[in-house]
Amino acid sequence: MCDTFHLPLVNFVDQPGFAIGKENEEEGNARKGVRASFAIVQATVPNAVIYLRRCFGAAGTMQKSAMQFSWRYAWPSAVWGNIPVEGGVYAAHHQEIQSAEDPMAALNELQIKYQAIASPFRTAEAFGIEDIIDPRDTRIRLCEWIEMAYEAEKTNLGIKKRGMRC
């Protein structure tokens, strides 16, 4: 709809990821989530993303497209990446945890270790976030973004259309 009426897309993200498991697969949750994500990726209108809280996995990777003027901001409360520390530590160190004398203590120790080095600034750099902003500045930043997007569209700079670079 945004493409049809040339409306910029603003997406406020609190998406912990797609639910997994047999029940969710039977209900088609991943399929529905991917359909929604592809609508964002395929849009040709400018796209702004504000990460509010959580954003992980495939749900997180499909918030920005190279096909239009895309900009991403994060609030300090945002935590995003490939996988949350809690599940990621267990997946990465499963054998080590299971072979430990006290598996729960080993899991907790590893989680504390990884949370200590977690940094929103490091993650923002790795995931191409333009800026970590104060939530009170959200409206101002969106106004600045829409002006940049309008100028880019007007002058045809920095915009990639489907299959073509302008």
The Cα angle at residue 48 between residues 43 and 51, in degrees rounded to 5:
120
Per-residue pLDDT at 143 exceeds 70: yes
Amino acid in the structure at residue 47: N
CA atoms of 141 and 78, how far apart (whole Å)? 17
**Predicted pLDDT of residue 60:** 64
CA atoms of 48 and 39, how far apart (whole Å)? 14
Domains of the chain: 2-82+119-157 (3.90.226.10)
Residues in the chain: 166
Per-residue pLDDT at 73 exceeds 60: yes
Beta strands 47-56 and 70-74: pairing type? parallel
Per the DSSP assignment, residues forming a β-bridge with 154 are none
CA atoms of 19 and 16, how far apart (whole Å)? 9
Q: Which whole number is the average pLDDT over 138-163?
A: 75
Give the DSSP per-residue string, 1-63: -HHHHT--EEEEEEE-----SHHHHHHTHHHHHHHHHHHHHH--S-EEEEEEEEEEHHHHHTT
- Please tell me the pTM assigned to this model: 0.70
Confidence of residue 159 (pLDDT cuts 50, 70, 90): very low
Which residue's structure tokens are 């991917």? Answer: 34
Q: What is the dihedral of CA 149, 150, 153, 159, to 10 degrees?
A: 0
Rounded (to 5) percent helix, strand, coil in the chain: 50, 20, 30
Q: Which whole number is the average pLDDT over 96-104?
A: 87
Q: Which whole number is the average pLDDT over 51-72?
A: 71
**Predicted pLDDT of residue 95:** 86
